[in-house]
Amino acid sequence: MGHRRNRESETRPRRIHATEMEWQIVREKAETAGLSISAYLVDAALARSEYTSHRIEIDAIRVLTASYQALSEISDSIAGCEPALDHLPIGDALDRVAERLDDIAAAVAAGGVGRTSGR
């Protein structure tokens, strides 16, 4: 059975609580993966945290897409307004919002969904 070989620091034994059925499932999955139960549980937990991080990025991209759609709809409605409405300042503001969304999209693409600098 395979064990994790690359450890940067010493490990300590841990206890977990599981039903017999849960333990049997974990044991079978570890055996299938060719890992010890300990290595399997650590790898599974770490993979789950990576999935969660990826999920946050996906949600951020969905928000960005919705924001771009809203900007497009606002822009379309302004284009159809009467000439008496001064649409230039509104258009400039929408351009600044779009630039900010581009900054956020770039941060998400770079793997950081944290705060980007404000303007």
**What pLDDT, in 10s, does the model give residues 9-32?**
777 888 888 899 999 999 999 999
**What pLDDT, in 10s, does the model give residues 36-48?**
888 888 888 877 6
Q: What is the spatial distance between Cα 56 and Cα 60, in angstroms, rounded to a whole number?
A: 6
**What pLDDT, in 10s, does the model give residues 63-79?**
888 887 887 787 777 76
Q: Show me where the domains of the chain are located.
A: 20-109
Cα–Cα separations (whole angstroms), residue 114 to 60, 102, 104, 111:
10, 14, 9, 9
Q: Residue 3: CA atoms inside 13 Å, Cβ hemisphere, count?
A: 3
